[in-house]
A and B are shown apart, each in its own frame.
Chain A
């Protein structure tokens, strides 16, 4: 498969550029990895040792022993997956409705979707703190899930809307003429075609939720309710920072995203541009 070249063939400068960029990307990554497999003695050495002579996976294990790391992971998984699934479901329906039907309030809703991407999280943290406090949902997975849904839904709806717009209306029209009402048209004809878009949307939602730090920081207190980002953030600020554990924890936290991405990367790029580029 020949890739479409933007400006002709490969210029040697491109290789230089790519090489330099890879250097800047790989150095921190490899440093992270190298730190995670060091033992105490090699960790704090001056000058720093680039690659350990005695690599060990001790940090990867002790992270679970010294901290409620399993809790952190479990909380993140539960909260983010729940929020993703729920958001995906409702945003798919809404995205379809917005792309196919005209009804009162459509324009306002669309405008609000865009607008809500602009809200500073910091602004909503304060009311959410109070609201969850009143509802008794502070420091709970449920409270956090609800909070996460609040910012993944607008974003997912916008993405699904963009994706549905790339599915030709003539399919809906053909189904309509064949005798299918709106529900059957959606579930039997259009939904199967939206799967790539749904996959991409859920990946974005997952990454956003997995990444999230500020709300989790403020809305949780007990160690066993904290999410992974908060847990990792805490690993600094102790008396002495166990950098190897910190890096090991970081690697753990990155694995789900890598897995997701590896499997689903094909869908990501096509749906990124689905609604955006008109050809």
Chain B
């Protein structure tokens, strides 16, 4: 009797299949689901609230400031988009944007090349692996301030060891004031940044390489691939997800970077290393032109958001 009921349902459902009217019945939400949504919200709300207060509010405030000519105390003159127009047509600001983009690109590329190469070396069966790793991680553990200081001391015109080293091996004849030279100053800040930041990329690449199943390499080897081809066809695709995300984040970090450049060159000489964050800092806290500085910062924000959109496209939907 029980089976008759069940089997009757079979026939009606099976027979109905081709002629179904195509409209699914309205799914209903049980109280249990609503309760779960509430629970989820409870877990998330403190952090959400904090972010609303501490991130969204200042952000909006910052955008508002950009429409005013203000000293943040008693003078608030509404100027609309004046600062935006002026900044975008100001060759100085545009130049600093270009400098910053070049800087960020070079630094991130340096991180990638060095980080991935070292990761490949570390992922193989080299001896003293732990020792290499311990040493190569060091730059990451130094605060940016310290990195700036060390390199400034190294580049010192009179007492720095770079001059000493180059003179000893005969590359240069007199001492050079590296940081007073536009091109070399730029090289110096780029070098310092690469030194500081490559360990993170190295760690990520190492983790990524170690998660690639070994048999893919073996299959490639059997198919006739040498080491270089194996790297190209197995390692790189395997690393792509991790590195893809890392690269975008890195680019944005170093685009908005301040500390190392400020402490090494203060944006000089003659604006050769005037990255955009220094430009904004000066405008705000040395010229006290807060509205203009805010507008410049908003422009930088928009550039970063464009990159965020690119990033979003790169991360497949199921990651979120």
Do A and B touch (CB < 8 Å)?
A: yes
Chain A residues in 8 Å Cβ range of B245: 276
Interface size on B, residues (CB 8 A): 110
Chain A residues lying within 8 Å of B37, measured Cβ to Cβ, are 101-104
Q: What is the CB-to-nearest-CB distance from B104 to chain A, in angstroms, rounded to a whole number?
A: 12
Majority DSSP secondary structure for residues of B touching A: helix
**Smallest CB–CB gap between B280 and chain A, Å?**
5
In the complex, which residues of chain A have a beta carbon less than 8 angstroms from the beta carbon of B124? 5-11, 14
Is B89's CB within 8 Å of the partner chain A?
no
Which A200-237 residues have a C-beta within 8 angstroms of B? 207, 210-211, 213-214, 218, 228-229, 232-233, 235-236
Known: A48-B161, A94-B43, A102-B40. A10 touches B54 (CB 8 A): no
Tell me whether A107 and B284 are in contact (CB under 8 A).
no
Q: Flag if A272 contacts B159 (CB, 8 Å).
A: no
CB distance from A221 to the nearest CB of B (A): 12
Q: A189 on the interface (CB 8 Å rule)?
A: no
How far in angstroms is the closest Cβ of chain A from B55? 5
Chain B contacts with A in 114-165, Cβ cutoff 8 A = 114, 117-127, 129, 132, 135-139, 141-146, 148-154, 158-161, 164
**A48 to B126, Cβ gap below 8 A?**
no
Whole-angstrom CA separation of A211 from B140 in the bound complex: 10
Tell me whether B249 is interfacial, beta carbon within 8 Å: yes
Any chain B CB within 8 A of the CB of A146? yes
A169 within 8 A of B: no
Identity of the chain B residue whose Cβ is nearest the Cβ of A268 in the assembled complex: B203
Kindly state whether residue B281 has any CB partner on chain A within 8 Å.
Answer: yes
Residues of B within 8 A of A103 (CB): 37-38, 40-41, 44
Smallest Cβ distance from B61 to chain A, in angstroms? 4
Nearest CB on A from B146, distance (A): 4
Cα(A253)–Cα(B129), bound, Å: 27
In the assembled complex, the Cα of A276 lies from the Cα of B76 at a distance in Å of: 46
Given A29-B138, A126-B65, A153-B47, A133:B72 Cβ within 8 A: yes
Is B59 in contact with A126, judged by CB distance below 8 angstroms? no
Q: CB distance B141 to A214 under 8 Å?
A: no
Interface: A177 (CB within 8 A): no
Digit string of A73-115 for contact with B (CB within 8 Å is 1, else 0)? 0000000000000000011011011101111111101111011
Give the distance to chain B from A15, nearest Cβ to Cβ, in Å: 7
- Complex contacts, B301 vs chain A, CB 8 Å: 118-120, 123
Q: Which residues from 225 to 280 on chain B have a C-beta closer than 8 Å to any C-beta of chain A?
A: 227, 230-231, 235, 241-242, 245, 249, 252, 255-256, 258-259, 262-263, 276-277, 280
Write the chain A residue with the least CB distance to B212.
Answer: A6
Instruction: Report the separation of the CA atoms of residues A260 and B231 in the bound assembly, to the nearest whole angstrom.
Output: 34
Q: How many A residues are at the interface, by size bracket?
A: 35 or more
B108 CB, min distance to chain A CBs, angstroms: 15
A24 within 8 Å of B (CB atoms): yes
Encoded as 1 (CB less than 8 Å from any A CB) or 0, chain B from 154 to 187 comes to: 1000111100100100000000000000000000
Q: CB-CB contacts of B205-231 with A at 8 A, as 1s and 0s? A: 011111110100100010000010011
Check: B67 CB closer than 8 A to any chain A CB: no
CB interface residues, B 26-77, toward A, < 8 Å: 36-44, 46-48, 50-51, 54-55, 57-59, 61-62, 65, 72
Minimum CB–CB distance for B205 against chain A, Å? 10
Q: How far is the CB of B238 from chain A (nearest CB, A)?
A: 9
Q: How far is the CB of A238 from chain B (nearest CB, A)?
A: 13
- Do A122 and B256 have beta carbons less than 8 Å apart? yes
A-contacting 9-mer, from B8-16, B78-86, B307-315: B307-315
Other-chain residue from B143, B160, B293 in contact with A126 (beta carbon distance below 8 A): B293
Q: List 12 A-B contacts (CB under 8 A).
A: A10-B125, A15-B126, A24-B195, A91-B47, A98-B40, A102-B36, A119-B59, A123-B297, A126-B293, A127-B62, A228-B145, A233-B145
